[in-house]
Structure 1
Amino acid sequence: MSQLLNSVLMVAPILQKAFLSECMVGVTDKEKFLAYYPAQGLNLGIRVGDELRPGSINATAVKEGKRVVKKISKELYGIPYIAVGYPLVENGQVVGRLATGVTTDQEDRLHGLAQNLTDALGNIASHTESLAKDADHLAQASHTLSDAAGQLGLKIAETTQINELIRNISTRSNVLGLNAVLEAARAGAAGRGFSVVAEEIRQLSQTTATSAKGIFQLLDEMNALVGTVTGEMEKTMNHSVQQSTRIQELDAVMQELRHMAEQLKKAADITGRGE
């Protein structure tokens, strides 16, 4: 047996303990295993004397004379792991191979968590973006309603002016009707017909005055309601704008978290490939 192989066989159990994580270590010559030290969570059941399987990472490292890294899926041995085969070269010739392997359970879990986190944050970001758009639309609608309430207030003010004119006309008509009744009374029998007309005018003016008063009261109530609606619309609009701003800030945070999750996933992928 070559001196290099003997030296590696001596230090192999020490190397296993020197690694930061649990690691299996194997040493082979060009045909078979000379030593195998399983890890606590990674035992492939290899025995000293087992021959190298054609096409395996061990046989490939010996045959090609170069370092080989390969991720082995769970389906093969029931344990996912990364194996590294390093050729042992002495006097220009490959005399064997040093193999190490570590499980990727933690990396696979990390990858799964990163993928789930990425998907969850993607969904949250999508909903947040939709909420931001809805908040913008709500703010615009509130602004439109506030403008409409303001215009309605102006129209009520114009109606109030018209109603004031009607009340003035009613008052003047009542005065004229009263004067006409007095003049008809003075005229005696000749003014009886005119007296009837004057009395009707006076009653009409009183009815108009009563109606105008009712309209005034109704307009005052409407104006008060419009003022309340306008105030509430302004509050709603302000809240909508604040909500939109906060949702946009939340969306920015979600995008940043999503980017971090993607970076985490890439790191898990790189770790899983043994790069």
Structure 2
Amino acid sequence: MLHPLREIVEHLSTIQQTYPEDTCLILSDRETIIGYLPGKEIDLKLKVGESMSKYKKSATYKVLQTGEKIREEIPADMLGIPYVSTCTPIKQDGQVIGAFAAVVSNQKMEDLRKGAEKLSAVISQMTTFSEEIASITNSSADKLQELSQQSETMKNNMKSVERIIQQVKEISSRSNILGLNASIEAARSGEYGRGFSVVADEIRKMAANSNSAAEDIQKQLELTQKEILKINESIHEIAAQTEEQSASTQEFHSMVERISDTAKLLNKHGGIHHASH
């Protein structure tokens, strides 16, 4: 066994303590395993003195043959624990004399990645829900605006009806005066004005009925105007609440987007891709 490798073997325990996660260390020369230190959970069941020819598919064997560093992420299928294997060639005077491999638990990173994936899925649902709420809110705001415009139109129509009622009342008043004058003239005409007097009385009755009907209509119109005013006020209140809800929904949507960005970042940094160099 060459001196540099012997020195590494003597310090394997110290080297293992420098890793923050559970770590298994392997050291080999060109032919055999000369140092092995299992982790608490990661144990490849290797033995010192075993020939490397038994592990031709391993990263350590490949490093001995190529002289290039290899870094691999291995899923939990093999050991029940996901881990990252990093194997580095050891050279002396430009020649590969051995290989040092560190097999480090990747469980925490895997848990982080799965958590980020679940978070992304939840955020996706939240985003869809937020967009649906925003769409409903905007649609409600549009309908409220339309209803408000219709209410204003009704108010204007009521004013037009009110003007017509005033005209009817004016006509009724004039008709009443006309009937009164006709009655006076009929009385002056004596026997000859009796027929005209009947007509004059009917004109006065018609004027009184028209005036009474106009008064009733005006009262109903005033009640309707009050109700429309209440409806219009309620529409404005609801519209204001809808605007507040829309602003809150937009803020919520922005928060969801920020959380989504964080989840993507966690997912991005949670993965270690296979690499060799």
Aligned partner of 1:248 among 239, 243, 250: 250
Are the counterparts in 2 of residues 16 and 25 from structure 1 also a CA contact under 8 Å?
yes
Aligned partner of 1:94 among 82, 87, 96: 96
Which one-letter code corresponds to 2:77 in the other structure?
A: E
Q: Which residue of 1 aligns with 2:33?
A: 33
Are the counterparts in 1 of residues 42 and 79 from structure 2 also a CA contact under 8 Å?
no
| Two-structure CA RMSD over aligned residues (Å) | 2.0
Aligned partner of 1:163 among 162, 165, 185: 165
**Which whole-Å CA distance do the structure 2 matches of 1:230 and 1:81 have between them?**
67
Are the counterparts in 2 of residues 82 and 274 from structure 1 also a CA contact under 8 Å?
no
Q: Which residue of 2 aligns with 1:22?
A: 22
Q: Any stretches of 5+ residues in structure 1 without a counterpart?
A: none
91-100 vs 60-69, greater mean Cα deviation? 91-100
Superposition pairs of residues 12-91 of structure 1, within 5 angstroms: 12-52=12-52, 53-91=55-93
Q: Which residue of 2 aligns with 1:135?
A: 137
Are the counterparts in 2 of residues 142 and 237 from structure 1 also a CA contact under 8 Å?
yes
**Which whole-Å CA distance do the structure 2 matches of 1:127 and 1:51 have between them?**
60
Are the counterparts in 1 of residues 21 and 105 from structure 2 also a CA contact under 8 Å?
no
Are the counterparts in 2 of residues 88 and 98 from structure 1 also a CA contact under 8 Å?
yes
1:113 matches 2:127: no
**Which whole-Å CA distance do the structure 1 matches of 2:4 and 2:126 have between them?**
58
Where has structure 1 moved over 6 Å in runs of 4 or more?
A: none
**CA positional deviation for 1:70:** 0.9
5-14 vs 179-188, greater mean Cα deviation? 179-188
So what's the TM-score if we normalise by structure 1? Answer: 0.92
**CA positional deviation for 1:145:** 1.8
Which one-letter code corresponds to 1:27 in the other structure?
A: L
**Secondary structure of 2:35 counterpart:** strand
User: Among the aligned pairs, what percent are the same residue?
Assistant: 26
**CA positional deviation for 1:106:** 1.1
Superposition pairs of residues 124-273 of structure 1, within 5 angstroms: 124-270=126-272
Are the counterparts in 1 of residues 155 and 228 from structure 2 also a CA contact under 8 Å?
yes
**CA positional deviation for 1:153:** 0.8
**Secondary structure of 1:95 counterpart:** strand
**Which string of whole-angstrom CA distances, capped at 9 and with x for unpartnered residues, describes residues 93-124 of structure 1?**
32221111111111111111111212222232
207-216 vs 21-30, greater mean Cα deviation? 21-30
**Which whole-Å CA distance do the structure 2 matches of 1:172 and 1:44 have between them?**
115
**Which whole-Å CA distance do the structure 2 matches of 1:115 and 1:202 have between them?**
88
18-27 vs 214-223, greater mean Cα deviation? 18-27
Are the counterparts in 2 of residues 24 and 38 from structure 1 also a CA contact under 8 Å?
yes
Q: Any stretches of 5+ residues in structure 2 without a counterpart?
A: none
Which one-letter code corresponds to 1:93 in the other structure?
A: Q
**CA positional deviation for 1:26:** 1.4
Which one-letter code corresponds to 1:153 in the other structure?
A: K
Which one-letter code corresponds to 2:64 in the other structure?
A: V
**CA positional deviation for 1:273:** 5.6
Which one-letter code corresponds to 2:50 in the other structure?
A: D
**CA positional deviation for 1:167:** 1.0
**CA positional deviation for 1:46:** 2.0
